Amino acid sequence: MAAATRIPPTLPECDDHDGAVILDLRCYVADLPNATTASGATSSGLPIQVTFHAARPPFLSYLCVHCHGLVFYRSLPRVVATDADLVLLRVPMDINAPIDIQSWDYFVYRPRAHRLDLLPNPYPMCFRDSATALLSHNDGAWYAVAAISSWCPVYYEGNNKDSIIRWDFRLHLYRSSDSKGWITMPMSLEELVRDKLLPLPASADAVEEDDDVPLYHKTSKTLTIGGERGTVAWVDLWRGILLCDVLGERPIMVFQDIPLPMPARGNMGRFLRQCEPNYIRDVAITRHKDTIKFVEMEIWPPKKQTKVIQCGWKATTWSMPVPPLPVVGSSFTADWQTDCEAQVEDVTGDPHHWNLLSKLSGSDTTPTLQKLFTAYPTISMDDDDIVYFVHSNAISLLERLELVIAVDVRNKTLRGVAEIDVQKKNFILMPVFCTSDICRHLTKTTAAISQQSLIQLKRSW
């Protein structure tokens, strides 16, 4: 069996970049140390190092993982979550074991401190990457990992499935500042706000395995709002956001529910079929952690016009202030404010970007975004109106082209185009990057490292 491997691409210089980046969730396996390299040891005692390589968006930044003695056959190391300059990642340790939580080592990568912390394995706790958040506290002095799982309904009387009065969850929490290891706490959601605004269709595919009850919440991603109480948002991109304070001696054990805007008319069919929401929706928190931003695309099928196949889409963004906890859930319906809207045919831009788009697509004709099948919107964390979209021609590996396209949806301008590494799978099933604020937290001192230090680092291996 051949080992899974990816050769890291060469990135443009970006030493002075202090904005948000787009971080590739799938790490490279390579020995490419720099000023951000941190070393540690796996659960089996093998030396391991992690290095961050930055790029200006829309290019993807990435992590390199290097570990003598480990061969990655089934899967590669993967980023789980980020906050500030910290990154939570998991590394497969047992190539013969089933792919489950016991088969991974979990690390927190701390580039400023040049540390790579091995976390206790959370088994028998079980939770998904998409439901896991990382919280940097006191400027990275300590951190926490929080995840939710095991939702179940509580009925008013008997087992009447029309009388659900609350949903119970489990919160799994790890704090680096104490010695308790992983702990699990019960949590509940008592105000079922989103059911009143956007009830799940009766034909919803996502159901509880035992009770055949539609899920109230299916986490697509997490947002770290932080603060002294450690606020985390678990996002169901179809229906809403669950907010909870997870830090402190007695964290609030009740979720607050924020319904998302109703699906656009052209997306109601996708909602009723419970299609993958990442395809057309995204939610982000701004770098100042004071505003939540939301985007939705409407995509209509291509039509033949003068023998040219055109693709149509429209992107609409909303925003709302981060609410304090606790709050009255019903007030959220009026808090989303429409920001801006852009249709693909209205997008203009610098000729350089269009020339690059033409070069990457291998076409001599003047390119237009309407000729590119585009989906998977991702909102920038910076305080601007940039949304990144993904284009994939979804053909064979040798001929496949994948691009990240940056669009200013307020000014309707194309701001950048970058080719994605084709060694990875395409975006048909799920996106493979997230936005991160890591560069802003890396001081300039990390940008300079002596050649002698690099030589000593390599000799230590």
In the three-class reduction of DSSP (H, G, I as helix; E, B as strand; rest coil), residue 77 is classed as: coil
Confidence (pLDDT) at 274:
84
Helices (H), 208-275: 268-272
CB atoms within 10 A of CB 11: 15
Confidence (pLDDT) at 460:
46
Flag the least confident range among 3-17, 162-176, 221-235: 3-17
Name the more confident of 330 and 262.
262
Instruction: Give the length of the chain.
Output: 461
What is the tens place of the pLDDT at every residue in 431-456? 689 999 999 888 544 444 444 444 44
The C-alpha atoms of residue 175 and residue 182 are separated, in whole angstroms, by 8
- 346-384: b or e for each residue (b if 16 or more CB lie within 10 Å)? ebebeeebbebbbebbeeeeebbbbbbebbbbbbbbbeb
**Contact predicate 375/279, CB 8 Å:** yes
What is the average pLDDT value for the chain, to the nearest integer? 82
- β-strands 433-436, 256-259: how paired? unpaired
Q: Of 213, 220, 212, give the one whose Cα is nearest residue 240.
A: 220
Confidence (pLDDT) at 273:
86
Residues of the chain above pLDDT 70, percent: 77
CA-to-CA dists, residue 423 to 22, 162, 396, 439, 450, angstroms: 18, 48, 12, 25, 32
387 burial class (0-12, 13-18, 19+ CB within 10 angstroms)? buried
Contacting residues for 106 by C-beta, under 8 A, at least 6 apart:
80, 88, 89, 90, 118, 119, 121, 122, 145
| Residues 359-386, mean pLDDT to the nearest whole number | 78
What is the tens place of the pLDDT at every residue in 150-206? 778 887 775 555 677 888 889 999 999 887 899 998 888 877 788 877 777 665 544
- β-strands 183-189, 221-226: how paired? unpaired
Omega within 30 of 0 (cis) for the link into 47 = no
**Contact predicate 187/254, CB 8 Å:** yes
176 backbone φψ class: left, alpha, beta (φ>0; ψ -120 to 50): alpha
Band (329; pLDDT cuts 50, 70, 90): very low
The C-alpha atoms of residue 287 and residue 171 are separated, in whole angstroms, by 25
**Which residues sit opposite 47 in a β-bridge?**
41
Name the more confident of 40 and 450.
40
Domain ranges of the chain: 1-124+437-461, 131-260, 287-320+330-428
In the three-class reduction of DSSP (H, G, I as helix; E, B as strand; rest coil), residue 371 is classed as: helix
Is the pLDDT at 23 greater than 70? The verdict is yes
